[in-house]
Chains A and B, each alone.
Chain A
Amino acid sequence: MNPLVPEFLSDFVPTLIHLSYLLASVLFILGLKRLSSPATARSGNRLAALGMLIGVAVTLFNREIISFQYIIAGILIGAVIGAVLARRVKMTSMPELVSMFNGFGGIASALVASGEYFRIAPAVFATQELTALAVSLLVGTMTFTGSLVAFAKLRGIIGGAPVVYPGYKVVNTLVFVAFLVFTSLFFLDPGNTGLYLVLAGIALLIGLLLVLPIGGADMPVVISLLNSLTGLAASATGFVLHNHLLIVSGTLVGAAGLILTLIMCKAMNRPLFNVLFGSFGGNGVDTGLPGTAGGKTVKEVTPSDLAIMAAYARRVVIVPGYGLAVAQAQHAVREVADMLEARKVDVRYGIHPVAGRMPGHMNVLLAEANVPYPQLFDMDDINKELPKSDLVLVIGANDVVNPDARLNTSSPIYGMPILNVDQAQNVVIFKRSLNTGYAGIDNQLFYADNSYLFFGDAKKSLELLQESLKEL
């Protein structure tokens, strides 16, 4: 008997719980709907949080809940850790935090399904529950270890380079086959808790083996996919517990993650299969070593010349890449934009989907530097405007502006959607040196007639530009 519920209300409570779960599901959907615009997004997030609060609160009245000490302790510990992480995290470290949360969500779902299994075992589950249990265990657990590896790669704890060894694909396949074999054995003998633990162990291993061979540059895809998997794990746990709120919410998250995964794959022009099993993509670390121009010449621009070009332009488009964030130059670029706007220049930001370390990351970094969101344009929208733009400033980006992706069929990045900055009147590329980008490919843009290079650290270069603009 739940101590919170008086005797005479106990018949009414299950109805209340079901209706409240329905309300919570509706609030999640409405909350996600409001994320369709930055103006309503914050209220949407709060609606979703309200849905969560309702879902948790009414569950406490479930008649199966008879003691609260674990619940209170668990929620207190979790809330403190969650709040501290959310407050302390730097916006540049958002991919690490999301990875960590992906992992926590996955393991929580797997633990819930496992708890339900150990509650009922050795009594037997029906086949559909066993299937849901196996899915929840596999997906939740592999998401946990996979996310920990992704976290370690993003943090630089382990190198971003793919961790591969001869025959790793064979090993991965064998481990996956082993999971299927043990699952079949488990279905034949569902009361065997030892088999269940073996399955859990294999699932842990699968997460590790799946993410270790994936390069750091592919992390935006991996984070999105793991995000989708946490949702799927919650949904599978809903099938185990016969809980519709879990099924709806988990599936919504699964859909969100899957959409982002596909967007990231398209933006990198790589099929998902290729990302997961191709082990392409280095760690994307800019070594800063001067590269050779291969006999071709580039034109350099001085800060004062650039100041004149920018100040008398009608429209300037800024194309930021992750190098901008590495150089901590977001505020410097916004200050340049402010100075240009004061001179009635139309300033816009053109943001490639993989400009940051996770989907939408660059937008958050710029918003943090007080760039107004109406100036943030995505790839398709800014590409329409680029031929009508007088000047493009490419800062810390390389492969995503390489015209070879459009023009050179033999280029490894051919077919990748890019920002067509070469179609603008003039392009100035802020660069530390003439070395290549993530993909290790030379960029013809640097040698084009309308291109100029501005060598140096992005932040220092922008400060030089500010000084020159002041002198105008």
Chain B
Amino acid sequence: MDLLFVHLFIFVLAAFVGFEVISKVPPTLHTPLMSGANAISGITIVGALLVASHTGCVITCHLGFIAIIFATINVVGGFMVTDRMLEMFKKKGDE
């Protein structure tokens, strides 16, 4: 039960940090925010790596393998497309 409360603490505090940090993102950057957040939600890849490599696997490692593919698409695609967008935001005179 203790562990659950540690998780809940972290969850609630992370939610507050998230609200504070993200409410300062200007509307101009809401699309890159979303695609960048998408890439971050690909963090589930960490879980996928653990699940994909267990011994004596019947189902688990196959699920993990598919999860790795989906999560990697999210991570690589998400960060790359966000970078592509943010590169376009320039002031006058920026090269």
A residues lining the B interface (CB < 8 Å): 28-29, 31-33, 35-39, 41-42, 44-46, 48-49, 52, 55-56, 59-60, 62, 64-68, 70-71, 73-75, 77-79, 81-83, 85-87, 89, 91, 94, 97-98, 101-102, 104-105, 107-109, 111-116, 118-119, 128, 223-224, 227, 230-231, 233-235, 237-239, 241-257, 259-260, 263, 351, 353, 356, 358-361, 363-364, 367-368, 370, 372-374, 376, 378-379
Contacts and interface: CB of A to CB of B under 8 A. Distances in A.
Given A79-B76, A89-B81, A256 B45 contact: no
A105 B85 contact: no
A79 B72 contact: yes
A368 B65 CA distance: 36
A115 B50 CA distance: 10
Contacts of B3: 242
Contacts of B82: 45
B89 A73 contact: no
Given A74-B68, A94-B31, A119 B51 contact: yes
Interface string B3-38: 110010011001101110111111111111111111
A87 B77 CA distance: 8
A255 B15 contact: yes
Interface residues of B, number: 81
14 contacts: A32-B37, A59-B46, A75-B72, A82-B80, A98-B38, A108-B45, A111-B70, A115-B63, A234-B41, A260-B33, A359-B30, A360-B27, A360-B29, A373-B89
A86 B68 contact: no
What are the 8 closest A-B residue pairs judged by CB atoms, nearest first?
A78-B72, A255-B18, A360-B30, A74-B68, A82-B77, A82-B76, A86-B80, A359-B30
Contacts of A255: 14-15, 17-19, 22
Contact of B67 (A111, A243, A254): A111
Given A105-B70, A112-B67, A367-B85, A35 B33 contact: yes
B72 to A, nearest CB: 3
B26 A378 contact: yes
Contacts of B1: 128
Contacts of B34: 98, 223-224, 227, 256-257, 260, 358-360
Given A248-B10, A360-B27, A256 B73 contact: no
Contacts of A49: 39, 79, 83
Q: Which of B3, B58, B59, B75 has the most CB of A within 10 A?
A: B75
Main secondary structure of the interface of B (DSSP, over half): helix
Contacts of B92: 372, 374
Nearest to A97: B81
A75 B4 CA distance: 31
A235 B33 contact: no
A372 B17 contact: no
Given A52-B75, A256-B22, A35 B32 contact: yes
Contacts of B24: 33, 36
B77 A251 contact: no
Q: Which of A52, A230, A254, A351 has the most CB of B within 10 A?
A: A52
A360 B28 contact: yes
Q: Which of B43, B76, B94 has the most CB of A within 10 A?
A: B43
A249 B67 CA distance: 17
Contacts of B23: 259
B16 to A, nearest CB: 8
A52 B28 contact: no
B74 A373 contact: no
Nearest to A76: B72
Q: Which of B28, B39, B46 has the most CB of A within 10 A?
A: B46
B89 A38 contact: yes
B71 A104 contact: yes
Contacts of A37: 26
B40 A249 contact: yes
A7 B36 CA distance: 38
Nearest to A224: B34
